[in-house]
Chains A and B, each alone.
Chain A
Amino acid sequence: MPPSAESVIHDLGYQRYTGPRLGRGYAVRSLYLHSLRSAFGLGRGAKAKIFPWSVAALIGLIAVIVTVVTSVVDETVMTYPEFSDQVGFLTVLFTAAVAAEVTTRDLSANVLPLYFARPLTRTDYALAKLAAVVTAIVLLLGVPQLLMFAGTAFSGDLSLGQALDEVVDLSGGLAFSLLHALLIGSIGVLAASLCRRKAFAAALVVAPFVVTAPVTTVLMSAPSQTVVDIGRLTNPLTVLMGVRNWLFDDHSDIGSIGAVCGAVAVGLVVVTGLATVIRYWKVKA
């Protein structure tokens, strides 16, 4: 049978790519977005979505309860910065799952050479992963605060001045959430990147927060103010509380240790961030 018009096989052969090549910045952005999506299990199976979304739902529920109670009793039960502190341990659990997900996937299957053979550098890779985890935490903490804000703004009869105050408070709360995200996220990514197995990585992320907790509790219940101050610095979460007392709490008597907490928080972010970058320079490719 002679080939008819319908039966022609269109094999165009290999086509060279002549379109744009977007380079390193685009590569980093692509990796960042891909990691951020996988942090919430998007583009993955249903199993990968369970944990991050349960934690997110739980924190959202807390925000809703706070909003409802606030509107009923008509006074502030929890400020925006307090909210980040109150859900601190949930944030750590979330970070454990997310950091382990975005780092161990590539480490355990040895995928890194495929990335490093492309335009992005090892530093780019490490920072893109870190940025993805930090963004995930900011979303985890920030979206519920926006809910709280919306609840307050639309349920009560706020004057313009009160509304502006509320916006200022919200901004402070979001800024504080960013600090939370930077500190917990950078510790989390560093810890998770040290393991190839996901479960171990998640455990290692939680460790710095859990292992130090009893010590912190004991020291902070000591009668000596100096010991309390030292105790405050033994756990990242109490460091963050110190920063909140220092920056956002008008009635706090935290004193100069507040500034120390701020310095320690920033220092920890820088050190763990650098360590993460160095860790990825050590990976064999």
Chain B
Amino acid sequence: MALIETQSLTLRYSPQVTALSELTVSVEPGIIGLVGANGAGKSTFIKILLGFLPPTTGRVAVLGLDPVAQGTLVRGRVGYMPENDCLPPDVSAAELVTHLGRISGLPRTAARERASETLRHVGLYEERYRAVGGYSTGMKQRVKLAQAMVHDPDLLLLDEPTNGLDPAGRDAMLELIHRIGTEFGISIVVCSHLLGEVERICTSLVAIDGGRLLRAASVSAMTNERRELAIEVAEGVDDRPDPTGILAERLTAEGLAVRREARALLVPLERDDVFDRILAAAADLTIPLHRLEQRRHRVAELFESAQPQTIAERGVSSAPVR
């Protein structure tokens, strides 16, 4: 069963304002990155999944359930971390998470135990009896995450979980989300306008832009389809000028689509014998190889080349990979 399935999902706030348009996507369990610029429709999509907004037309299923007709069931099995501040300042994290656990249907004792456990998992065990109002932004984000998973949901919907965090805080939050998705076995949809951020932790990506689906695929499929070999050769070993150029000429003559990038040559890994042919050519020309490695494209590049007019122009930025 697909985790989330939509069919021509459209949501219009008014005849003029279309938030989502003809979105058809099927997502398998895992960590799903929902990327797009601010205003692309990410939050709207999340709210439809929660049953907050009924779609104007089209169908949507979450965990095989209809969020409009079966909203109570869906919301019992889903956890939601909103983008904005949503924590009352004068209660402790333990108290708040316990209370919300009960609202999610956990019996009193179980709610208290799960609240402590969850707060421990997000790294707030020591501070859990302090009032939330005194917490730092990073701690508040962790409380928001804890309340979303106190009832052990099957699916977590995280809206911009790294908002307002410093680089170290972002890394910690992403690592935590990755751990929840892999070790805890909870599927996660994580919304972000920072592609570079989510591609590090996600198993698949859904990119939307202006309310339309841009691309949806698993991260490995996206990167595999564009594998390349990077070749660097030793310069100045003998008298020949520009050995890189000589090798490039030879490989082109062999019918490989060689691209030159600074001191490296990039060859698409289309056939199985590409490795062998490069090695043979280099040996034949007696050019020593410095480096021969498979390069995985960052997903950001794939989006750029797939849709050069949209994502790049609309400013989906990617954070540097650390």
Contact = CB atoms under 8 A, between A and B. Distances in A.
A21 B151 contact: yes
Contacts of B180: 14
A23 B151 CA distance: 12
Contacts of A118: 75-76, 100, 103-105
Q: Which of A45, A116, A118 has the most CB of B within 10 A?
A: A118
B75 A17 contact: no
A260 B75 CA distance: 45
Given A17-B114, A20-B107, A22-B106, A110 B185 contact: no
A51 interface: no
Interface string B92-119: 0001000110111111001000100100
B121 interface: yes
A156 B90 CA distance: 49
Given A19-B106, A114-B100, A115-B103, A14 B86 contact: no
Interface residues of A, number: 34
B70 to A, nearest CB: 11
Nearest to A15: B117
A110 B95 contact: no
Nearest to B82: A113
B110 A17 contact: yes
Interface stretch (A25-33, A143-151, A181-189, A214-222): A25-33
A234 B60 CA distance: 51
A279 interface: no
A21 B72 CA distance: 12
A7 B135 CA distance: 32
Interface in B114-149: 114, 117, 121, 147
A169 interface: no
Contact of B105 (A14, A22, A115): A22
Contact of A14 (B47, B78, B106, B183): B183
Contact of B72 (A13, A14, A45, A119): A119
A79 interface: no
A17 B183 contact: no
B106 A34 contact: no
A27 B151 contact: no
Nearest to A28: B103
A200 B78 CA distance: 36
A120 B88 CA distance: 19
Interface string A103-114: 001100111011
Given A17-B151, A30-B103, 6 more contacts: A16-B185, A114-B86, A115-B103, A117-B52, A117-B80, A119-B103
20 contacts: A14-B180, A14-B184, A17-B106, A21-B106, A23-B76, A26-B105, A27-B105, A31-B103, A45-B90, A105-B88, A110-B85, A114-B80, A115-B100, A117-B78, A118-B103, A118-B104, A119-B72, A119-B103, A120-B103, A285-B52
